[in-house]
Structure 1
C-alpha cells in the first residue's frame, strides 16, 4: 500500500454516464491518491456570467476613475506633459485588459473579485495543482473569445457592412455561449488550459474542529519528526476526512499516516482518535512554523 499522500497526480474521475441518482447534474467526483472522494460542484452558466459582469464593471469603474484623474492632472499641468499622462493611461488600460484576470487567478484563491462574489474559483481538471501556465493559457484565449471581436465591432462598427457586423456578433455569441453547450460548462479557454470553474469550498479551520481534535487523554504524543512529515495540503485533506468521517476512509488514511510516520498503534487505539490527535498536532506545528515565516506547502516542500 502506498503511503498516505504519495506524490502523484490526482485522478479526476468524472462519473460515467452522468452523476448517480440524487446528485445534482453539476456534481463531479475527484478521487485523490489518498482514497478521499472530494465532491466538486461546477459553477453554472448564470453564476459565471454574473461573475464576468462584476469583473467587467470593476474594470470599467477603475478605468473611468483613472481617466478622470488623468484629465484633472492634464488640466492641473495646464496642458503640459500630455504625452506622459496619455502613456500612463494606456499602461493602466493594458494592465486591466491583459492582467486583471491573470493576476487575481494567480492568487491562492484562484478567483477574481467577481468569482469570489459568486463563490467560484478556477481549478485544474486533472486534480493537480493549478499552474501559472494554465492560468495564462485560459486568459489568453479571452482575447480571441471576447476582446478582439468586440473591439472590432466598437471601433469599426460604422465602417463595415451589415453582414460583417452580423458575423462579428455571431463570433462573440458562439464563444460566450459555448459553456452552455457542454456538460462541464467549459469555456474554450478552459478546454485549452485544462481547467474548469467550480464552487469554492468553504474550507475553514474553525475552532470547533480544532478543539474536538485535541486528545483529552494525552496518550498521543507526536514528535517533531512525526509532524514534519506533512504540510498544508495534507492538513486540508485530513480536515476533509474528519469532517466527512466516513469509516472506511478514516481507517484507510489512518493506516497510511501510521505507516508514513512509523507509528505503532496500541490495541485499543481507534482510527478516529488517532486522526483527530494528529490533525491537532499537525495544525499546531504548521501554525508555529508560520509564525517564524515558514510555510510548508506539502510533504515534498523541504523549506
Structure 2
C-alpha cells in the first residue's frame, strides 16, 4: 500500500496574519536543526570557557610568588570570577544574539534558523520582545543546566536519588519538543516564541539601485516617486515585511500589501502594476531609512516617531 509523499516542510509550514491583514508563511525549524544549533553554540561556549580557564590559571601561576592570606584571597577571587563569567556567558550569549536584528545565535545562523514571536491563535502576527527572549533563555537553566548538575553530583558507582531525579528531569525536558507540533521547548511555551527557518535568499541589489530606485514600471511605464510624507509612515519592521512579501512573490499577498500601502498614503494608482509599485516603495523606503541611520536616526516601525 502506497500513499502520497508529503514534502518535509509541508507539515512545518505555518501562516500568520499581520495587523495589516497580510498573510505571511513561516516554516517551523526542525528538531534536528535546533539540536545542531544548540550543540554548535555549546561548543563555542565551551571553547570560550576553556580559554578563560587557561587565562585564570596563568594569572594564578603568577601569584605563586605570594604567600599567606594574599594568595588565598586572590585564588578565591579568581574562582568567583570564573563562576560569574561562566554564568554571564551562558545566559548573556543567547540573550545578546537573539536580541539582535537577526534573532539568532551563531549556531542558529549556521543552521539557517532564528527565534520569532509566536502569536496566540486569532491574534495575528506578534513582535519578538526583549522580555520574551530573556524568559526563554533563563528557562534553559531549569531545562538543561540544573538537571546536568544533579547528574554530575550523583554518587560515583551508584545511581543515587540525585542521579535519578536529574535523569528524569533531563529526559522530560529533552523529549518535550517531540510532544507538540511546533517542536517547542518549555522556554518557548513560557515566552511565547518559536524557532523558524530563516530564508537565506535576499532581494537582488538591482531592486534598490536600478528599476526600484528609479521607480519606473517596465510593465506600464508609470513612474513611482514617493515624498517624505509617503515614506515616513513606515519603519524598519514594515520594510522587512515588505521584503519578505516581495521575495515570496505571492500575487495575493502583493495585492494585499499594495492596497494597504495605498490606503495608508492616500494613493489610487489602480491595479495591475502592484509589484513595480511595491519595488519602488521598498527601494525608496530603504534608502530613506538607511539615510536616517547614517545620521543616528532610526525608525523601528510605524508607531515610532
Where on the TM-score scale, by shorter chain, does this alignment land: which range? 0.7 to 0.9
Q: Deviations over 1:269-301 (max 9, x none)?
A: 833332222222212211211221212111111
Cα RMSD between the aligned structures? 2.3
| Distance across 1 between alignment mates of 2:164 and 2:60 | 39
TM-aligned CA distance change 1:221 to 1:113, over 3 Å: closer
The counterpart of 2:180, out of the listed 179, 182, 187, is 182
How many Å apart are 1:218 and its aligned residue? 7.1
2:247 is aligned to 243
Q: Hey, what's the Cα distance between the residues in 1 that align with 2:27 and 2:168?
A: 30
- Structure 1 residues 119 and 26, CA, compared in 2 at 3 Å: closer, same or farther? same
Using the alignment, how far apart are the partners of 1:111 and 1:247 within structure 2?
Answer: 30
Write out aligned runs for 1:37-186 (5 A).
37-78=23-64, 79=66, 80=71, 81-126=74-119, 127-158=125-156, 161-162=159-160, 164-186=162-184
Task: Give 3-state SS (helix, strand or coil) of 2:154's partner.
Answer: helix
Query: Would you say 1:215 and 2:219 are equivalent positions?
Result: no
TM-score by length of 1: 0.84
SS of equivalent to 1:157: coil
Work out whether residues 52 and 114 of structure 1, in 8 Å CA contact, stay in contact via their aligned partners in 2. Answer: yes
Classify 1:246/1:200 alpha carbon distance in 2 versus 1 (closer, same or farther; 3 Å): closer
What's the counterpart of residue 15 of structure 1?
Answer: none
> C-alpha separation between the residues in 2 aligned to 1:55 and 1:269?
47
Task: Please give the per-residue CA displacement for 1:3-39, whole angstroms capped at 9, x wherever unaligned.
Answer: xxxxxxxxxxxxxxxxxx7662111112223333221
How many residues of Structure 1 are paired with residues of Structure 2 in the alignment?
281
CA contact (8 A) 2:224 2:277 kept: yes
- More deviation, 247-256/39-48: 247-256
Gaps of 5+ in 2: 1-5, 120-124
Equivalence map 1:191-270=2 (5 Å): 191-202=189-200, 204-210=202-208, 211-213=210-212, 214-216=214-216, 219-265=223-269, 270=273
- Give the unaligned 5+ runs of structure 1: 1-20
Structure-2 separation of matches of 1:124 and 1:83: 42
